Amino acid sequence: MTKSLSEFSSYQPRVIKLLTNSIRKDRLAHAYLFEGKKGTGKREVGVLLAKSFFCENLQNYEPCDNCRNCKRIESGNHPDVHVVEPDGLSIKKGQIQALQEEFSKSGVESNKKLYMIVHADKMTVNAANSLLKFLEEPNANTIAILITEQYHKILNTILSRCQLLSFQPLQPKAIEQTLTDSGIAPPIASLVAQLTNDTEAAFNLSKDDWFAQARLKVIKLYEVLTTRKGQAPLYIHTEWMNYFNDKEKQETGLDLLLYIYKDVLSVQLGNDEHVIYQDIIQQIKQHALQITQRSVTEKVTSILEAKKRLHANVNPQLLMEQLVLTLQEG
């Protein structure tokens, strides 16, 4: 089930404050444009706004989630709530015309109607012009929600008729909390939250067996680098290259390694609560005592440099062998 508006306020405080104030004062705009990166909650907030608009037992500004309207909106079956999504690669004029035709009829159960256009930037020019006519003559009881990840592609004439709400990228802690609340193990959740600010992508990654194994292989490399230094090149040859066998996986491996060395730095700076690899924090603390801050910073820089060189098409095995030789110094 979708989070409540109050739960969303910790992720998107500005957006939720504006919407809840409008709901309280019964001053919802006739058209909104929700813009922001993928995974920032635009569609979920759109569904919550629809529930608030139709809820039979609205409490303060929160929909009840139990009435017939809330339940049908949650399941996508409310007759007066319409969602338009791209048909193939674009939203076509016919789709907007069908929507207009639907809205020319009176509401099935009340005089209220709400429509949501997902990926509004994918409207064809003709579709956008059809929508423009619709927005120019708003019905008092109609709400439009346009959703986009590419705000700059929306016609200025449409922008000028919508209230713009910008959704900010989610903070890692917010994503981590969402994942752990859903039963994802904390060590995986904290790491995944650093790699993406898209909640959906974070869920997919956290349930990916390849990723879980990759994390263990990176920890193993770190152990080899700190306790059996001479064996690191052999580990790269026998285990690393077989597992991280394409450029995308190699980059992920470098990112995971980078976060361990950043954790060492966090411990040295007294920020234990910022450590991502909490399950190996004792090992990290021990290492932090044996190495200077400057040396850790140099190792972080060398991993970042390796990432750059990976994109410059340097031989990956040679790159990793050189990197581990650098990392095992000091």
Statement: residue 207 has pLDDT above 70? yes
User: Is 115 in a helix, a strand, or coil?
Assistant: strand
Percent of the chain clearing pLDDT 70 (strictly above): 98
Q: What is the pLDDT of residues 275-309, one digit of tens each?
A: 999 999 999 999 999 999 999 999 999 999 999 99
Query: How confident is the prediction for the chain on average, in pLDDT?
Result: 91
The more confidently predicted of residues 314 and 222 is: 222
Residue 167 CA to residue 233 CA, distance in Å, equals 45
The string of DSSP letters for 218-279 reads HHHHHHHHHH-GGGHHHHIIIIIHHHS-SHHHHHHHHHHHHHHHHHHHHHHTT-GGG-S-GG
Lowest mean pLDDT among 55-59, 164-168, 197-201: 197-201
The string of DSSP letters for 59-105 reads BTTB--S-SHHHHHHHHT--TTEEEE--BTTBB-HHHHHHHHHHHHS
Domains of the chain as residue ranges with CATH: 5-169 (3.40.50.300), 208-327 (1.20.272)
Helix (H) or strand (E) holding 292: none
Statement: residue 267 has pLDDT above 90? yes
64-71 contacts at long range (C-beta below 8 A, 24 or more positions apart):
65/1, 65/4
66: Cα separation from own chain's centroid: 28
Instruction: Specify whether the CB–CB gap between 121 and 153 falls below 8 A.
Output: yes
- The candidate with the shortest Cα–Cα distance to 321, out of 249, 226, 221, is 221
Q: What is the pLDDT of residues 97-124, one digit of tens each?
A: 999 888 777 656 678 899 999 999 999 9
Position 1 confidence tier, pLDDT thresholds 50, 70, 90: very low
pTM for the complete prediction? 0.68
Q: Which two tokens stand for residue 282?
A: 């004792």
**Residue 108 confidence (pLDDT):** 60
Q: Which two tokens stand for residue 52?
A: 């608030």
